[in-house]
């Protein structure tokens, strides 16, 4: 209060007359009331905001199970006359049926001849992915989708099944996966062959820990991915991707995977791809701007040069956003007119800066 008095009257509270003191108290009370009102509004604000709800229509392909909630007495509560329906309210809710196991029992009757008693006739047993095993094709597909699409390891799947009394060891599930992979391999090879005939491909590889039986440790394997998707550029071909495992990262791997390919190969800076381009003139390498940008992004906060490079690359990304979906000829024309000068200028900029920094520094490596 004394601080307010000095600000309002230039004197302490004990030096004010009665009227001035009353006026000062009113100002203090008014300020406190405004502060209290603001605090109440802030505390109530989250409750007063409209709650976000998903009111979209549920997909039409889902099964509809209808239930009717009706009145018991259909006599008018006023006069006792018969009621007739004048409308209804319909509400839909999304329901789920948890995974339910069931047992498919296959019976194959055997028939014999009463006359000769020599012939025994029986329909052949249906083919199975696991001969003599218990899983159906649907169960194996569920295991594969859970493992590779939903990233659910086999040991967790075994725990989920155990909750319903189904005891399946992880090694058993792994055997199912291996057998299913053997059946799916022709499909993978067919997709890879289709990819080799395309005009443009994307290639990349990543590490994967691989168990070494008997050594109680893992080794590092490589999973190579080859993909094509022309949908963002108006292409009509379906998107495809094939994964190929290899035990190492040697140069011979992509060469064997892409044997017979002729076209544009989009890659990162891995030397195996550069060697592939040198050995096979029909392969034209297109290096990835995202990989170029990554090392400069890591230095952008501490290096003005890296920040400048990012700004130039961002202008290229902006042009690509504008022309995505246009025909190939239209995109090429825009790139010649707008993108090429930016790239040429960036090339000269990097050449000049490259002579000024150490090649062993992080900026020099970038």
Domain boundary, last residue among 287, 321, 354: 287
- What is the rounded CA–CA span in Å between residue 229 and residue 239? 4
Residue 101 in any domain: the answer is no
pLDDT at 242: 94
Domain boundary, last residue among 171, 196, 221: 196
Tokens read off for 74: 């259909």
pLDDT at 344: 96
Mean pLDDT, all residues of the chain: 87
Q: How many domains is the chain built from? A: 4
The bridge status of strand 120-122 relative to strand 200-212 is: unpaired
Residues 254 and 222 in one domain: yes
Q: Is the pLDDT of residue 11 over 80?
A: no
Residues 295 and 359 in one domain: yes
pLDDT at 251: 86
pTM: 0.66
Residues 232 and 283 in one domain: yes
pLDDT per residue as tens digits for the range 154-178: 999 999 999 989 999 999 999 999 9
User: Minimum mean pLDDT among 22-26, 135-139, 301-305, 308-312: which range?
Assistant: 22-26
Residue 166 in any domain: the answer is yes
Residues 209 and 269 in one domain: yes
Confidence of residue 280 (pLDDT cuts 50, 70, 90): confident
Extended strands (E) in 62-115 = 110-112
Residues 205 and 279 in one domain: yes
CB 229 within 8 A of CB 239: yes
What residues form DSSP beta bridges with 265? 201, 285
Residues 296 and 255 in one domain: no
Residue 245 in any domain: the answer is yes
Domain hosting residue 18, numbered range? 2-42
Residue 20 in any domain: the answer is yes
Residue 57 in any domain: the answer is no
The bridge status of strand 200-212 relative to strand 263-267 is: parallel
Residue 257 in any domain: the answer is yes
For the CA atoms of 354, 359, 363, 365, what is the dihedral angle to 10 degrees?
110
Closest CA to 25 of 54, 44, 2: 2
pLDDT per residue as tens digits for the range 208-261: 888 887 777 888 999 999 999 988 777 788 899 999 999 888 888 999 999 999
Residue 329 in any domain: the answer is yes
Residue 106 in any domain: the answer is no
Tokens 């989009």 found at: 266
Domain boundary, last residue among 254, 287, 320: 287
Residues 283 and 205 in one domain: yes
């Amino acid at each position: 209060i004394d601080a307010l008095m000095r600000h309002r009257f230039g004197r302490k509270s004990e030096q004010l007359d009665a009227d001035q003191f009353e006026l000062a108290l009113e100002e203090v009370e008014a300020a406190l009331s405004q502060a209290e009102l603001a605090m109440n509004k802030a505390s109530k604000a989250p409750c007063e905001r409209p709650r976000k709800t998903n009111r979209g229509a549920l997909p039409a392909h889902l099964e509809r199970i209808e239930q009717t909630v009706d009145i018991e007495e259909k006599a008018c509560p006023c006069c006792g006359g018969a009621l007739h329906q004048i409308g209804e309210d319909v509400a839909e809710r999304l329901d789920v049926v948890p995974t339910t196991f069931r047992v498919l029992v296959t019976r194959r009757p055997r028939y014999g001849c009463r006359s000769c008693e020599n012939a025994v006739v029986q329909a052949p047993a249906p083919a199975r992915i696991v001969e003599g095993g218990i899983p159906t094709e649907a169960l194996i597909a569920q295991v594969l989708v859970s493992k590779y699409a939903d990233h659910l390891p086999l040991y967790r799947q075994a725990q989920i099944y155990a909750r319903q009394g189904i005891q399946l060891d992880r090694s058993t599930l792994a055997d199912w996966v291996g057998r299913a992979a053997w059946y799916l391999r022709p499909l993978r090879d067919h997709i890879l062959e289709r990819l080799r005939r395309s005009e443009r491909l994307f290639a990349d590889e990543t590490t994967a820990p691989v168990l070494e039986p008997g050594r109680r440790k893992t080794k590092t394997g490589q999973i190579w991915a080859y993909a094509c998707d022309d949908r963002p550029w108006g292409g009509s071909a379906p998107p495809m991707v094939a994964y190929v495992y290899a035990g190492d990262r040697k140069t011979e791997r992509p060469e064997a995977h892409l044997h017979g390919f002729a076209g544009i190969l989009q890659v990162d800076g891995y030397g195996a791809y550069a060697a592939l381009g040198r050995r096979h003139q029909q392969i034209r390498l297109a290096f990835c701007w995202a990989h170029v940008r990554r090392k400069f992004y890591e230095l952008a906060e501490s290096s003005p040069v890296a920040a400048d490079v990012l700004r130039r690359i961002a202008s290229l990304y902006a042009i690509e956003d504008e022309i995505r979906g246009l025909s190939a000829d239209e995109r090429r024309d825009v790139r010649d007119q707008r993108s090429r000068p930016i790239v040429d200028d960036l090339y000269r900029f990097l050449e000049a800066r490259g002579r000024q920094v150490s090649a062993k520094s992080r900026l020099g490596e970038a």
